A and B are shown apart, each in its own frame.
Chain A
Amino acid sequence: MHVLFDGRWFLVRGRFLKRSLLFLLTTYLLVSSFTLKTNAESINQKRYVYDEAHLLTDNEVAKLEALANEKGKDTNTAFLILTVNGIDGKGYIEYVENFYDENAPGYDKPHGNTAILFIDMKERDVYLAGFQKAEEYLDNNRLDLIQDKITPDLSNGKYFKAFSKYIELSHEYMGYKPGVNPENILFKWWFQLIVSIAVGAIIVTLMAYQSGGRVTVNARTYMDSNKSKVLNKRDVFIRQTVTKQRKPSNNNKSGGGGGVTRGGYSHSGSSGGKF
């Protein structure tokens, strides 16, 4: 009887094991299909770094090429870096637009998904633009965030660091749904962890505190509500103060933003700035 019982138990456990294995396998497949959507190298984009201002060593260029290639795979987007030494009086937005029209970059196809980081060493201008998929996933706000984060490095002459950051951040931000703020604190794993620990600690402390019985009387328990009342009240207005504050204006920074190229390709853009 005992053996039979044990045997049955093993049977049950066997089924349970099989089920959990199946579950793990489906989860793995699901997750991998999400993350490894495109595995092939770009057939269109072979070059990512256009360092005409010669800010990088050959070694650094190779490293950035590899990084752009790797991150581009994930997002199906070409992360281009464009450095120049003067653009003959043209606006930098126009310059970037023309670059896109003429060079037809894109990870997936010519004139395809592309993000461009543009730097003019002569005017010390920095500008970012997103085309196609990158226009949607790297909108003006996100490109501004990236620009703000890399500008200090650019000012300090740490070009390689700034460029790597640009690729990493662009890749990260493209993982968020369009429209949401990728820097929202709710999305930070450390914030989530701290909140979870706090919630756990508070609830368990409350549980321990209340294990000895709770106080179940309140202010109404012993009050004689027939006799308890306000007998007399006065509310006298004395004075008033008014302070005014200018409405925070929707900061339309000059220049920058997105636009449409002469070739008819619309794009997003950072507000642009000096470094």
Chain B
Amino acid sequence: MLFQYKCPDCGNDMKFDSESGTLSCDACGKHENIDNYPEELKTARFTEDEANEYHCESCGAVLITEAETTATNCSFCGSVVVIADRLSGNLAPAKVIPFTISKEEATQAFKKWCRKGLLTPKGFMSADRIKGITGMYVPYWLFDLNSKVQVDAECTKVRTYTRGEYIYTETKYYNAFRDINLDYVKIPVDASEKMNDELMDKLEPFPYEQLKDFKTPYLAGYIAEKYNYTDSDLLPRAKDKIKEYIESYIHSTLSGYHSIHYKNKRINTSSVNSSYVLLPVWMISYDFNHSEHIFAMNGQTGKVVGKPPISTSKVSMWFGGITAGTFLALKCMSFLMGGGFW
């Protein structure tokens, strides 16, 4: 089943407007508040066989989509289409963070970011070869994790003092035990197969105060996908993400000691809650030197990530400059210390 949003006044396609946060009509300027839209997808059920073929309600053409696509545009008439049965039941997202950065703002912000690149080639900095910019709702699982930690460690405190002709080094050994409870909330893990995990991790943090109850109109005008991985598939990755946080917390509880030798470390992490959300990402593809570079931008904060090309001449310039500068600084330092300049 397809959802399409037609303006009740003029019949034109309505899209989500990132500026006002409403569903708006380009043609007549009508705004409709999304909160008023009913949402029955969580309970709605669609039969399996219905999901094979969709026809655009505007032009009647067959909608060609990938199996994951939940929101797109009709490739013939450009109408905004939301595929409702791919967003229902288990596949219904609990929350969504809507876009606040519009396509124009995203393009401008990306150009600005390119200009700031200190090592990027000159031709890249002008950012005039943006091939495509796509607003995309990426499926994420937000995990609430609870870790129960018990640690036994042998720790030492070292003190040195002088008495008469001797220097004494006193080492005190302690058995330290810590029982720690750690709660981490809303750890995001992207559930899309297509998205590069490393890239998506760098997009964090997303402003969770912007999380809204999911309503299909938020997707109107953007591309959206359903998850490829379930929450149980991704739990190991979520645990992996907090691993070093836990380690650093444990270490911080033993901060008074000079040396720590762990004898026993039990970390039991379990998932308290996981919720399926859609988070806004602008995907930008950029042609440079006959190869395509992919960048992603956080659709709320505007943070840009992705590997820009690196100019060897700029690298050598910076390297030369910093090396020469440091050398000069060291020379000046040795001069001030009385070591002569040469």
Q: A residues touching B (Cβ–Cβ < 8 Å)?
A: 175-180, 182, 184, 186-187, 189, 192-193, 195-197, 199-201, 203-204, 207-208, 211-219, 221-224, 227-247
Contact = CB atoms under 8 A, between A and B. Distances in A.
A211 B322 CA distance: 17
Contacts of A247: 162, 165-167
B179 A223 contact: no
Contact of A228 (B181, B203, B305, B331): B181
B249 to A, nearest CB: 7
A235 B242 contact: no
A3 to B, nearest CB: 29
A179 B167 contact: no
B125 interface: no
Given A201-B319, A211-B308, A238-B174, 9 more contacts: A187-B340, A192-B334, A195-B326, A207-B118, A222-B184, A223-B183, A224-B183, A230-B180, A240-B171
Helix, strand, loop or mixed for chain B's interface? Answer: mixed
Contact of B323 (A178, A197, A218, A238): A197
Contacts of A235: 155, 174-177
Contacts of B244: 219
B118 A219 contact: no
Contacts of A230: 178-180, 253
Contacts of A218: 245
Given A195-B326, A235-B176, A228 B182 contact: yes
Helix, strand, loop or mixed for chain A's interface? Answer: mixed
Interface residues of B, number: 67
Contact of B180 (A217, A229, A237): A229
B339 A180 contact: yes
Contacts of B327: 192-193, 196
B338 to A, nearest CB: 3
Top 6 nearest A-B pairs (CB, nearest first) are: A177-B338, A213-B305, A200-B323, A187-B339, A232-B179, A224-B183
B340 A237 contact: no
Contacts of A199: 322-323, 326
B269 interface: no
Contacts of B127: none
Contacts of A243: 168-169, 171
B319 to A, nearest CB: 5
B249 A219 contact: yes
A178 B324 CA distance: 28
Given A211-B118, A231-B181, A236-B175, A222 B187 contact: yes
A217 B242 CA distance: 11
B291 interface: no
Scoring B171, B183, B186, B315 by chain A CB atoms within 10 A of each residue's CB, the highest score goes to B183
Contacts of B340: 175-176, 187
A176 B167 contact: no
A237 B172 contact: yes
B202 A212 contact: yes
A233 B326 CA distance: 48
B76 interface: no
